[in-house]
Structure 1
Amino acid sequence: MKKILTTVIILCSLFGTGCKKWLDVKPQGETTQDELFKTQKGFRDALTGAYIRMKSGNIYGGALTWGNIEFMAINWENPSPSNTALTKLINGDYTDATVRGWLDNTYADLFKVVADVNSILSVIDDKKSVFTEGNYSIVKGEALSLRAFCHFDAMRTYGPLPSAPGTARILPYVTTVSKDIHEPLLYQDFMKSVLNDLDQAEALLKDVDPIRKYSIAQLNPGQNDQPVLSDNYLLYRQVRMNYYSVLALKARVYLWLSTSDASYKVNAAKYAQMVIDAADPSGAPLFRLGEERDRANEDYTMSSEHISALSVYNLATTATGLFGETGSLMRYDFNITDGFYYLNNLFPVSERTSDIRWKQMWTYKTTAGATNYVMYKKYIQKAGLFPVLQIPLLRLSEMYLILTECADTKAGAEASYSFLCSKKGIPFTSFNSTDWLTDRRNKLIREYVREFYAEGQSFFTYKRFNLTTLPASWTYTYYNAKPTKYLVPKPDREINYNNN
């Protein structure tokens, strides 16, 4: 698959001048909004603004990807003992004012994205006449899927344990642009709203999304390639919420629901399989699992797996600053005989010669005073013209893990898991026949952590399993949690769901 061009190129061709225009938009001003939504381009610019908002450091440009959510999973060490607020976040003490500020900012920015797309959805049906063929469905479908995506992550973060959701009202599902208070919904009603938006998005995108008609390579043309579409806005579908993103998100949502009701596993598996089975016009798989050739090419985020991602033009600089020699995102891992201690939990010595998630991905710092700290290279970019400047939101490997977890037979679970193992370069071992369900659970927890490290999924995995300590098979039990750690407080006061 061709590498995605740098975001500077993408924004010039994909978004045109929309990004600059969005920065001048004031969504709360009715006159400005009326002007914006007079044209198809205005709707596109507004949708672009929502994607830009998602790159905020409070959400997917930081806190919900490699930042606070990873500290909550204890995937990073506190680099400064004097930073007591970070220590409290790591320990699940959410009473500290600084910690509450971080958490409140994440909540607020998630709902700012919701407000962005609600401004579109509140008027789009009355403006269908401004759209050329297919574009109404694409813009509306993407807006609905973004609304579902952000609400679902708000619920995963601030909602109840999925194994015991209770009967209390949890969070609002905001569908209007209003200064009125939005009342929280019951858990089941909230989740129905997520799925309702995704059902609508699926129906809207199914027959018009270019990702259903072209290969990924065709939709990601290089500088010297002739685009398959004259409308550049419809290219680069992997950096948008496309049709298959909707299916993948539905698989993730149904898996979450299955924690309290196993019957939902049928739908989780169904949608995961639909993504895996997606094919381009030649019949070749549309997405493929990352493998050794990708690692060797230093494509560490495995862009061939990206079902949906955020394009971030300065990712190389950001990653070097956060994860590099002087970066603050690292693990303490003092040297022992085999060179590592903490990482033995994730990468047994016997697997390190072949596991693509290990090779060249972890290394000790060489800076004086920091030589017992390990840095992670997933987002570090190789030198060259076409770095992969993308933060993945949904990846194909998750679909195989979902199939593994949802299989109702040992053989079915092993079929999906063994294929994933073959691509990731790890030996497949059958699930323990004495208690294969427990063995599957333990292996899945490990796979989620090492597969999605610095992608914000570890904490949610622990929450879904209500994990109090790591499986006994792990050599170093560094993670301990009470159920209260998963009950993250939402802001004390209602936020303004209009943007400002």
Structure 2
Amino acid sequence: MNKLTTTLLIAGTLVFTGCKKWLDVTPEGLTTKDEMFESQKGFRDALTGAYIDLKSSDAYGGAMTWGAVEFLARNWDVSSPDRTDLNALVNANYLDAGAKKTIDAIYAKEYKVVADVNSILGNIDAKKGLFQDNNYALIKGEALTLRAFAHFDVLRMFGPMPDSVNTTPILPYVTEVSKDIVPLSGYDDFAKQILADLDQAELSLKDVDPITQFSLSELNPLVTSVNNVPVVSDDYYMYRQVRMNYYAVLALKARVNNWLKTRGDSYRANAVKYAQMVIDAKDHLGAPTYKLGERKDVVNGDATFTSEHIAAVIYNNLNDVVTKTFGETGTLVRYDLSISDGFYYLNNLFPVTERTTDARFVGMWQYKITPGQGQYIMYKKYIQREPYPNNQIPLLRLSEMYLILTECALTKADAENSYRIYCDKKGIPFATGFSASGWEADRRNKMIREYVREFYAEGQTFFTYKRYNVTTLPVNWMVSQYLGSPKRYIVPKPDREINYHNK
């Protein structure tokens, strides 16, 4: 077997070899799975291992945020002719060896996260007596959410178009660590298993998650006590906005149901329901748990809008990574023929009338000044600035909840109500509402554009195009060579995965 399959069988068998430690970072004194699950700390360490895998370069520390998935959406230009792998991703040439390697690594890493949490879930009920306070419910709820999150990533990247009626089995939904190959599930069954995991997670976290009982400021290190009394009895309960907390479950439910809305009215209704629950969330003081980011946040150095983060991952050396990736010498860039060309891409994604007000434009983009790089524009969202060296890469944000409400609204008035609140905070004029004639088409175009503007380098553009089955982008928006089709949007599974299920 090759290196990949000695770590795990891609097809969902997910078996760890004896020569490898169970996690990438072995917790203190624990080197085997049996030893790990003999204490509450062991379960906590195992969950930490899943988060470590989630923020790897093959997942949300690169490929699934600003890396491969953004090249699939053509959000970056390839500045080096030597990067044939990136050119292949831009052109959806999935037969290219470099592109295949990148895609296979994403697939394997998503199922590695699944393996991590399945080991937890396979042991936690039998060891319930080990846990103190609410640790059992919190760890189980987070593990279930991570399993759903990773499987949904696999579905929206490697699965069929959202409105597909094909009943052919497509992907393995893996719920235990086993040496056996997991049978493929059909689209609807796979989706139902995602939602079933989220239902369990919601029940597990609803009454115990500290994020429903304290404000985010109380759960973060700058405020650790009230009147010298700790707000929580255990440091492990801190930083809930960077974990798969109760509201992350609701937000992920909204995202999944929005993806499935063409498959039935109940999905649309549930997308609205759960998005609204997140928007309506309040702390024990009656203040909103999450707030929409504004231009002033970017000006103050908070370009990822941390007040919106429903779930995120912490990347301790994020600034070093993104400076090399996005900075003056970085490779993730937009290209314009010249300054006089008027920044063709950006001026049409961000109309001139909005460039002084839109929170996603002001302070986010900069023309390069390095000699030889003067025709490139760099993106500054993740470059850390005081006083916000937060090192957070968002996974779920409040902005998406407002866009889901707008996208799923059944009436023009309801859609406008949600979108107008969003526009007001983001600095977008929306005085006249959606077009009086053909308002749904106008909404569609605006929603596609907002997802690109709002979640640039967060890995959402490609999936937005797939959800809407975008074939070409609006006139005067982007270079004309972007052509979308199911052939582009349904990313092929790794060859080995296909071979396993053809035996």
Residues 132, 292 of structure 1: CA spacing in aligned structure 2 closer, same or farther, 3 A cutoff? same
Where 2:217 maps in the other structure, the secondary structure is: helix
- The answer to whether the 8 A contact 1:179-1:496 is kept is no
1:297 shift after superposition: 0.7
Q: Distance in 1 between matches of 2:314 and 2:497?
A: 31
Q: Deviations over 1:296-346 (max 9, x none)?
A: 211000000000000110001111010000000001023354742111221
Q: Distance in 2 between matches of 1:274 and 1:81?
A: 47
| Corresponding residue of 2:290 | 287
- Code of the aligned partner of 1:409: T
Deviates most, 488-497 or 348-357: 488-497
The partner residue of 1:302 within 296, 302, 305 is 305
1:292 shift after superposition: 2.4
TM-score between both structures, scaled by the size of structure 2: 0.91
Q: Deviations over 1:380-420 (max 9, x none)?
A: 01145x51210000000000000001111101000000100
Where 2:120 maps in the other structure, the secondary structure is: helix
- The answer to whether the 8 A contact 2:368-2:378 is kept is yes
- The answer to whether the 8 A contact 1:278-1:285 is kept is yes
| Corresponding residue of 2:363 | 360
Residues 300, 93 of structure 1: CA spacing in aligned structure 2 closer, same or farther, 3 A cutoff? same
Q: Distance in 1 between matches of 2:31 and 2:454?
A: 47
Where 2:311 maps in the other structure, the secondary structure is: strand
- Code of the aligned partner of 1:124: I
1:494 shift after superposition: 3.5
| Corresponding residue of 2:235 | 232
Q: How many pairs are equivalent?
A: 474
Listed as ranges, the gaps of 5+ residues in structure 2 are 1-20
Deviates most, 264-273 or 251-260: 251-260
- Code of the aligned partner of 1:413: A
Where 1:259 maps in the other structure, the secondary structure is: helix
Q: Distance in 1 between matches of 2:362 and 2:208?
A: 40
Residues 443, 473 of structure 1: CA spacing in aligned structure 2 closer, same or farther, 3 A cutoff? farther
The partner residue of 2:425 within 423, 426, 431 is 423
Higher RCO, 1 vs 2 (CA within 8 Å, ≥6 residues apart): 1
Greater than 6 Å deviation, 4+ residue runs: none
Where 1:175 maps in the other structure, the secondary structure is: coil
- The answer to whether the 8 A contact 2:22-2:32 is kept is no
The partner residue of 2:462 within 459, 464, 469 is 459
- The answer to whether the 8 A contact 1:345-1:476 is kept is no
| Corresponding residue of 1:133 | 133
- The answer to whether the 8 A contact 2:299-2:363 is kept is no
Q: Distance in 1 between matches of 2:325 and 2:459?
A: 15
| Corresponding residue of 2:392 | 390
Aligned-residue sequence identity (percent) comes to: 61
Where 2:428 maps in the other structure, the secondary structure is: coil
| Corresponding residue of 1:175 | 175
- Code of the aligned partner of 2:121: L
Equivalences for 1:260-271 in 2 at 5 Å? 260-271=263-274
Where 2:396 maps in the other structure, the secondary structure is: strand
Where 1:218 maps in the other structure, the secondary structure is: coil
1:76 shift after superposition: 0.3
| Corresponding residue of 1:15 | none
1:468 shift after superposition: 0.8
- Code of the aligned partner of 1:489: P
1:224 shift after superposition: 7.5
Where 2:378 maps in the other structure, the secondary structure is: strand
| Corresponding residue of 1:13 | none
Where 1:381 maps in the other structure, the secondary structure is: coil
| Corresponding residue of 1:437 | 440
The partner residue of 1:274 within 274, 277, 281 is 277
Where 1:442 maps in the other structure, the secondary structure is: helix
The partner residue of 1:481 within 481, 484, 494 is 484
Q: Distance in 1 between matches of 2:142 and 2:44?
A: 10
| Corresponding residue of 2:216 | 216
- The answer to whether the 8 A contact 1:347-1:358 is kept is yes
- The answer to whether the 8 A contact 2:339-2:375 is kept is no
Residues 409, 223 of structure 1: CA spacing in aligned structure 2 closer, same or farther, 3 A cutoff? closer
Residues 366, 50 of structure 1: CA spacing in aligned structure 2 closer, same or farther, 3 A cutoff? same
- Code of the aligned partner of 2:453: R
Root-mean-square deviation (Å): 2.0
Deviates most, 149-158 or 340-349: 340-349
1:33 shift after superposition: 1.2
| Corresponding residue of 2:404 | 402
Q: Deviations over 1:419-444 (max 9, x none)?
A: 00000011114111110000000000
Residues 69, 39 of structure 1: CA spacing in aligned structure 2 closer, same or farther, 3 A cutoff? same
| Corresponding residue of 1:330 | 333
| Corresponding residue of 1:74 | 74
| Corresponding residue of 2:383 | 380
- The answer to whether the 8 A contact 2:22-2:33 is kept is no
- The answer to whether the 8 A contact 2:217-2:223 is kept is no
- The answer to whether the 8 A contact 1:331-1:375 is kept is yes
| Corresponding residue of 1:65 | 65
* 1:154 counterpart = 2:184: no
- The answer to whether the 8 A contact 1:172-1:183 is kept is yes
- Code of the aligned partner of 2:384: Q
- Code of the aligned partner of 1:78: V
1:97 shift after superposition: 1.5
Residues 24, 90 of structure 1: CA spacing in aligned structure 2 closer, same or farther, 3 A cutoff? closer
| Corresponding residue of 2:354 | 351
- Code of the aligned partner of 2:480: T
